[in-house]
Copies of this chain bind each other. A is one copy, B any other.
Amino acid sequence: MVKGSEPLTYKDAGVDIDAVTASLSKVGKLAAATHDNRVLTGLGSFGALFKPDFSDMQEPVLVSSTDGVGTKLLVARKAERYDTVGSCLVNHCINDILVMGAEPLFFMDYVAAGHFAPGLLEGIVEGFASACREQGVPLIGGESAEMPGLYAKEDFDLAGFIVGVVDRARLLLPERVREGDVLIGLRSSGLHTNGYSLAQKVLFERAGLSVDDTLPGGEVSVAEALLAVHRCYLACLRPLLRDPALHGLSHITGGGFTDNLPRVLPEGLGAIIDRDSWQVPAVFRAIAQHGPVERDEMDRTFNMGLGMILVVAAGDAERISTQLRASGEDPVRCGRIVSGEGVRYEGSAEL
């Protein structure tokens, strides 16, 4: 039954271990640049070692999250620009544990592709490493898998994994939220990492745009608008994590305000969002108009320009907004907590 007679090697099966090893060496240097003295390196290579310092905590709780970049990757591939998606993933993961009150300890990545074209893996990992450096989060390990047959040659996917910590008494739990609390929104940089299937269907299929066209109603290309790095809110929110007036944080990801705000509210409380309180950015308006996509569907799919919502005591809202402005933010007082459930919208549905 043997059809070939030349001895086969692993390389013949499409996996060039030597090429991957060379790539991994570059990647290792990128990761090493994110390390600090909590990362124990050179002590073995199967697992990544991290020595945490919990000495200032009563009851440390590890808060972890895993995520992918979703179909934003398709835009990266179409635009042949791989440097932003890794940063998006790091920042997304940081924001997801930040809303529990946790600060990050370390990050790990998984990258898989049909074929690691020259520069692809390095480009992606440079994205991880640059966000990790910027936020002070060591990239302590990862897995890179070249899998011909499982992925088409140009296909690839990423997953990220973050571990952070919070002292149990400082966990941001729904029970902190009160009727009358004020919602303060922080600007997003664009779609962040959600809603890309719908966005692409509208902009590329229905509107017939290419990545290099100027975004309708905007000033940048479609690629630039869609590939903007998911913002990280760690730096501006870290000083507020011990502020008793901060009652909750909601990271506006897939599901928009409609699905994400209720996740941080206790039973019996809902939220009202005032649609007139901020100007929805051009990229969302373009999607709504060219779909068309109705406003309610937009609000349950996209962040609409506000990527993080703070729930704060009403009497402290102005003080906290001032503090956020001092951090370079342009905060929006975008709604309030009311009795009831779910999210209701006030103001004009026009975009």
Contacts and interface: CB of A to CB of B under 8 A. Distances in A.
A140 interface: yes
B61 A51 contact: yes
Closest 3 CB pairs of A and B: A110-B159, A161-B161, A8-B291
Interface stretch (A124-132, A166-174, A179-187, A226-234): A166-174
B108 A161 contact: yes
Interface string A282-307: 00000001111110010011000000
Contacts of A148: 71, 197
Interface string A56-82: 000111111111101101100000000
- Copies held by the complex: 2
B70 A147 contact: yes
Contacts of A44: 99-100, 171-174, 263-264
Nearest to A160: B110
A19 to B, nearest CB: 14
Contacts of A54: 54
A155 to B, nearest CB: 7
A51 B46 contact: no
A46 B65 contact: yes
A7 interface: yes
A99 B46 CA distance: 7
Contacts of A12: 198, 201
Contact of A149 (B106, B143, B195, B197): B197
15 contacts: A1-B209, A3-B205, A3-B207, A8-B292, A9-B293, A13-B201, A17-B255, A44-B172, A44-B173, A46-B100, A49-B171, A50-B62, A65-B108, A70-B150, A73-B150
A145 interface: yes
Interface string A137-156: 00011110101111110010
A15 interface: yes
Contacts of A151: 151, 155, 157
Interface size class of A (residues with CB under 8 A): 35 or more
Given A62-B52, A66-B110, A291-B8, A197 B13 contact: yes
Nearest to A216: B1
Given A109-B66, A149-B74, A207-B2, A96 B50 contact: no
A141 B62 contact: no
A63 B48 CA distance: 5
Contact of A63 (B49, B65, B161): B49
A275 B70 CA distance: 46
A232 B66 CA distance: 23
A293 B168 contact: no
Nearest to A14: B197
Contacts of A293: 7-9
A3 B206 contact: yes
A223 interface: no
Interface in A200-257: 200-202, 205-209, 251, 255
A297 B7 contact: yes
Contacts of A70: 145, 147, 150
